[in-house]
Structure 1
Amino acid sequence: MIEGVLWAIFAGLMLGLYALPEKFTKGFKYENTWSLFFLLTMFVVPSIVSVVLINGFGDIFGNMPTDIWIKMGLASFLWGIGVMMWSKAINYIGLSLGFSIFIGTVILVGSLLPFIVDGIPPANVLLFIAIGILIVLLGIVLNGKAGLIREKDEKKSDREQEVDTSKGSMATGILIAVIGGLLATGFSYANAVGRPYLHQASVAQGNPDWITAVAIMFPIFISGGIVMTAYFLWQLNKKNAWGHFKISSFSKNLFLILIMAVFHYAASALFAYAASKLGASGNTVGYAIFNTASVATAIISGIVTHEWVRASSKARKILYAGLGCMVLGILVIAYGNGQM
């Protein structure tokens, strides 16, 4: 169990840090960076890794039942739409509130959704998992509040309006973030519904247990990547950004974005592996720990890179309280899972 918790935390750390190389790219617009990123992380990296590492790749996926393909594909496609909606919500309500609502919804629904596939755990285990998730959500809410206070502090400092605060826009943004979070939980469902067959088929081909995580990620990323890639291709045309690929720093940017893609893919694969090590409630426990660790890492990275330098002491105190709640929530969830 401890091994699974540690792997889930490590996966969350990788997810929280994967976008860091973007800060060092030069000459690319937002659309250039992220279209190339999604192409690499959703298609190139998982395809190469899967073909190279999975023995019997063709047999495993060629014989996968149609209903599992449909369930995984549809859930993953919805996950891709959810991620796109999240980026849209940020335009309405800002990064702090949008991130908190989106991830909060993902953790709440995504952690409970696997129970539909895996079954309800014993009452004592379920109680601790539920309490832990609620503590995590409290931390997410506190982080969102801290973010709003920080935005207010920065607005007061530089007199620049950064977020549309009209009632209609705020309500629309919150709705988009919640719906996006609900759709993004398709990742958790796809992982839960595909694991039984893919694990059995993978082991039957002589693969070690950990290869199951690689096998699970292949249909998830390919299906989710369809909508993400289509969106950014549309954005490249809309923003006339194709020409920005023809720059002298393209090779350097490509290398940095490839690192992002590898980290992003590896984080998701490690989550699937961690879930397999956490017992009957592994998808629920792992999903909560994975997303919480990623949020905590992203926030700490923001502190280290001076994103909170102009925030008031009140905002920072609430932020630290939120981080404390998330850590406590992880410990409660881990303890509850240990009661299995």
Structure 2
Amino acid sequence: MFIGIAAALLAGTMLGLYALPGKYTSDFEEENKWSLFFILTMFVVPLISTFALMKGVGSIYSGIDSGILITMIVSSFLWGVGVMMWGKAIDHIGLSLGFSLFIGTVILVGSILPLGIAISKGQSLPSTPAMIAILSGIAIVLFGVLSNGRAGLAREADEVALKAAEGSDADDESSKPKSYALGILIAVFGGLLATGFNVAYTYGAGPLGDAVEANGNPGWMTAMAVMLPVFLSGGVVMTFYFLFQLSKRQVWGNFKTPSFGKNFVLIFIMAFFHYAASAMYAFAADSLGANGPVVVYAIFNTTCLVVAVVSGILTGEWAKASPAARRWLYTGLACMVVGVLVLAFGQTLDQKPVETAANVSIQSDLINSGI
């Protein structure tokens, strides 16, 4: 049990910190930083990890139905756009808001989606106590997302007022803060699109899981088997987007900076943390047995949210914000943490077979990550 809980804490910490090294790159524009990050996290790290850790990779993928693969690829394109928007949101509104709004949206949709699927297929819904807990958790998380949005707008107003008081040149592009309203919109819409991973997992986890175990791999590696085509497909979208952006902004030359070596190391750490958080999540859920997915769901999401918000505060993102803006931020964080715990509790009220519980939890929550 200790190993599983430690793995869940580590997974949440890695995801909460994954974007932090990007604050310390030098001579890179956003396009340079994120294009290199997505090449590493979508192609390099998944390919190396999969072939280094998983047995029979060729056999696992050769037997998958083409219809399932196409569905996974299409939904992965949407996920890729969502994760790309997450990066843009972080640049607009910082780690604290970027994480809490994006992941809060994913948690909301990931909790509502299974209910909608059950209704559309005529399946039985959770019991009344479980439904009450789930809906209560959704409402609390939603209030947390709205509170964080309010915190972002309040922080923007504070920064604008401070600049006006200091007599900053309003026409100086470098002195203009990025629109928080736009950043909030990007984070929320990116979170909606990122649930494309859930769709890919729903369709691919069954056949790939069977193939993974048939080739002598542990069950948690099903997550890695699903992640490879998802990451590769999503990476194609990001590659074309950033090729266009690098050319449009004419910032290809920034890669020639003397700081490239340092930047590469920092961005590789980002890529490793981003990918490893999802794999570690799956390992933790598998390690804790029947209730593992539910326990890990709560630990992973609360750890990720707290770490991201605290790291943003420690790096000065809220140094110019008023006490009122910070109260909205803390209220939003508290609501999302409580909401996640209530959702996890609701999942424990209806006992399900181990395999079913694990599949439902991971498909809904693995990429809360983002993942």
What TM-score results when the alignment is normalised by the length of structure 2? 0.78
Cα contact 1:81–1:228 (8 A) shared by 2? yes
Q: For residues 225-304 of structure 1, what are the structure 2 equivalents within 5 Å?
A: 225-273=235-283, 290=300, 293-304=303-314
The letter of the residue matching 2:253 is G
**Where do 5+ consecutive residues of structure 1 fail to align?**
none
Task: Provide the rounded CA distance (Å) in 1 between the counterparts of 2:19 and 2:51.
Answer: 26
- Alignment match, 2:74: 74
How far apart are residue 205 of structure 1 and its match? 0.6
- Alignment match, 1:110: 110
How far apart are residue 201 of structure 1 and its match? 1.0
SS of the residue corresponding to residue 219 of structure 2 reads coil
Q: For residues 31-46 of structure 1, what are the structure 2 equivalents within 5 Å?
A: 31-46=31-46
After superposition, the Cα gap between the structure-2 partners of 1:288 and 1:82, relative to the gap in structure 1 and judged at 3 Å, is farther
How far apart are residue 3 of structure 1 and its match? 8.0
Task: Provide the rounded CA distance (Å) in 2 between the counterparts of 1:308 and 1:284.
Answer: 33
Q: For residues 116-131 of structure 1, what are the structure 2 equivalents within 5 Å?
A: 116=117, 120-131=125-136
- Alignment match, 1:133: 138
Task: Provide the rounded CA distance (Å) in 2 between the counterparts of 1:53 and 1:147.
Answer: 41
SS of the residue corresponding to residue 110 of structure 1 reads helix
Q: For residues 1-340 of structure 1, what are the structure 2 equivalents within 5 Å?
A: 10-85=10-85, 102-115=102-115, 116=117, 120-159=125-164, 162=177, 178-273=188-283, 290=300, 293-339=303-349, 340=351
How far apart are residue 32 of structure 1 and its match? 1.3
How far apart are residue 295 of structure 1 and its match? 3.6
Cα contact 1:46–1:221 (8 A) shared by 2? yes
Cα contact 1:50–1:214 (8 A) shared by 2? yes
Task: Provide the rounded CA distance (Å) in 2 between the counterparts of 1:245 and 1:173.
Answer: 26
Task: Provide the rounded CA distance (Å) in 2 between the counterparts of 1:64 and 1:243.
Answer: 42
How far apart are residue 29 of structure 1 and its match? 1.9
Task: Provide the rounded CA distance (Å) in 1 between the counterparts of 2:236 and 2:36.
Answer: 13
Cα contact 2:46–2:231 (8 A) shared by 1? yes
The letter of the residue matching 1:40 is L
The letter of the residue matching 1:310 is K
Task: Provide the rounded CA distance (Å) in 1 between the counterparts of 2:310 and 2:335.
Answer: 14
Task: Provide the rounded CA distance (Å) in 1 between the counterparts of 2:227 and 2:6.
Answer: 20
Q: Which stretch of structure 1 is more off in the superposition, 25-34 or 330-339?
A: 330-339
What TM-score results when the alignment is normalised by the length of structure 1? 0.84
How far apart are residue 164 of structure 1 and its match? 5.3
Cα contact 2:298–2:341 (8 A) shared by 1? no
SS of the residue corresponding to residue 113 of structure 1 reads helix
Cα contact 1:37–1:261 (8 A) shared by 2? yes
Task: Provide the rounded CA distance (Å) in 2 between the counterparts of 1:114 and 1:5.
Answer: 25
Task: Provide the rounded CA distance (Å) in 2 between the counterparts of 1:36 and 1:313.
Answer: 37
Cα contact 1:21–1:256 (8 A) shared by 2? yes
The alignment of Structure 1 onto Structure 2 pairs a total of residues equal to: 334
After superposition, the Cα gap between the structure-2 partners of 1:21 and 1:11, relative to the gap in structure 1 and judged at 3 Å, is same
The letter of the residue matching 2:153 is L
Q: Which digits, 9 at most, give the CA deviation of each residue in 1:271-327, with x for residues without a partner?
A: 444566788998899778755543432221111122212222222222222222122
After superposition, the Cα gap between the structure-2 partners of 1:173 and 1:265, relative to the gap in structure 1 and judged at 3 Å, is closer
How far apart are residue 63 of structure 1 and its match? 0.8
After superposition, the Cα gap between the structure-2 partners of 1:283 and 1:196, relative to the gap in structure 1 and judged at 3 Å, is farther
How far apart are residue 155 of structure 1 and its match? 1.3
Q: What's the Cα RMSD here?
A: 3.3
After superposition, the Cα gap between the structure-2 partners of 1:255 and 1:294, relative to the gap in structure 1 and judged at 3 Å, is same
Q: Which stretch of structure 1 is more off in the superposition, 199-208 or 276-285?
A: 276-285
After superposition, the Cα gap between the structure-2 partners of 1:291 and 1:137, relative to the gap in structure 1 and judged at 3 Å, is farther
How far apart are residue 101 of structure 1 and its match? 5.3
Cα contact 2:149–2:184 (8 A) shared by 1? no
Cα contact 1:97–1:145 (8 A) shared by 2? no
Task: Provide the rounded CA distance (Å) in 2 between the counterparts of 1:294 and 1:145.
Answer: 21
Identity %: 55
SS of the residue corresponding to residue 308 of structure 1 reads coil
Cα contact 2:104–2:336 (8 A) shared by 1? no
